[in-house]
Amino acid sequence: MKLLEAKPVADKMKQDLSKRVESFTRRTGVKPKLAVVLVGDDPASVIYTSKKGKAAEALAMEHLTARFSEDASPFEVHQKIQELNQDPSVHGILIQRPLPKAFKEEEVLYWVTPEKDVDAFHPLNVGRLSLGLKEGFTPCTPAGVMEILKFYEIDIAGKNAVIIGRSAIVGKPMATLLLQNDATVMQCHRRTCALPEITHKADLLIVAAGKHHLIDKSFVKKGAIVIDVGIHRTPEGKVEGDVNPAGLEQVAAAYTPVPGGVGPMTIALLLSNTLRAAERLSRSI
């Protein structure tokens, strides 16, 4: 079983990005800048936000964190985001999730202007992706999966792809991207009946259920490629996925390990979207 590690893919992307950032900054005198809006003290969110900032610095990009306490009102956070939307020195804006309960996701989705929506959550960008229009952004995690497949020269045209999960951030855009690349796509969720029968049809099995070790080798067709998007911290402090890798090598042809598979791609794609936003915004001035 081939291990589809993200590191060489993310390293290659970062090398390319670094050259593009340098040329953009030379041409415009401006550094691409990412703003992260962080509400509350969720420990994982604090770590992810800091990682994003460090990754931006490593590529000579700028970043800022607009930090609010857990009890901040949606009104004051929205006002700050409107300020960032107007700020010409900011090119990409990301709202770190999860947000406290006082925030209504169906409203928050509209807050970041589509031109700076590097997480690709705004309904306009969701629609653009679904229609295959180039001017939108692609959500970072599914885009990262596509980069892994491309890097390891895994041709998905005509293959049966099964996705477990239908969230707006991973499952749905993943299905759109695979379909646009000519896979035959089936999407599963909690109400799916006979899950193993469906996963046994998968040449490419993408698991994004958010359930620790939901899938084991008994779900996997011989020769399948298994992509594990899940991230879980066990009580012992280990990071594990939605797929239990025990004995997987007896059936799968390739697998993205956790940690080290899909996870490291997400930040690389976020910075790539931020640079694209900066390039587009500089053209529109």
Shortest distance in whole angstroms from residue 143 CB to ligand NAP: 11
DSSP letter string over 46-103? HHHHHHHHHHHHHTT-EEEEEEE-TT--HHHHHHHHHHHHH-TT--EEEE-SSPPTTS
Query: What is the Cβ-side half-sphere exposure of residue 107, based on CA atoms within 13 angstroms?
Result: 10
Q: What distance in Å separates the CA atoms of residue 178 and residue 13, rounded to the nearest whole number?
A: 20
Terminal Cα-to-Cα distance of the chain (whole angstroms): 50
Burial 246-274 (b: 16+ CB within 10 A, else e): eebeebbbbbbbbeebbbbbbbbbbbbbb
**For residues 263 and 6, is the Cβ–Cβ distance under 8 A?**
yes
Binding site for ligand NAP (CB under 6 A): 141, 164-167, 169-171, 188-192, 195, 208-211, 214, 229-231, 242, 262-263, 266
Burial 153-166 (b: 16+ CB within 10 A, else e): ebebeebbbbbbbb
Q: Which is nearer to ligand NAP, 95 or 169 (CB)?
A: 169
Shortest distance in whole angstroms from residue 192 CB to ligand NAP: 6
Q: Which is nearer to ligand NAP, 30 or 195 (CB)?
A: 195
Q: Which is nearer to ligand NAP, 78 or 166 (CB)?
A: 166
Q: Which is nearer to ligand NAP, 24 or 171 (CB)?
A: 171
Query: What would the two tokens of residue 91 be?
Result: 């090119």
Shortest distance in whole angstroms from residue 171 CB to ligand NAP: 5
Shortest distance in whole angstroms from residue 139 CB to ligand NAP: 9
Shortest distance in whole angstroms from residue 89 CB to ligand NAP: 27
**Residues annotated as catalytic (active site), given as ranges:** 52, 96, 119
Q: Which is nearer to ligand NAP, 8 or 88 (CB)?
A: 8
Q: What distance in Å separates the CA atoms of residue 154 and residue 254, rounded to the nearest whole number?
A: 10
Query: What would the two tokens of residue 181 be?
Result: 């690349």
* Closest CB to ligand NAP: residue number: 167
**For residues 240 and 207, is the Cβ–Cβ distance under 8 A?**
no
Shortest distance in whole angstroms from residue 228 CB to ligand NAP: 9
Residues paired with 163 in a beta bridge = 187, 206
State the angle between helix axes of 140-151 and 7-28 in degrees (0 to 180), rounded to the nearest 10.
110
Q: Which is nearer to ligand NAP, 77 or 262 (CB)?
A: 262
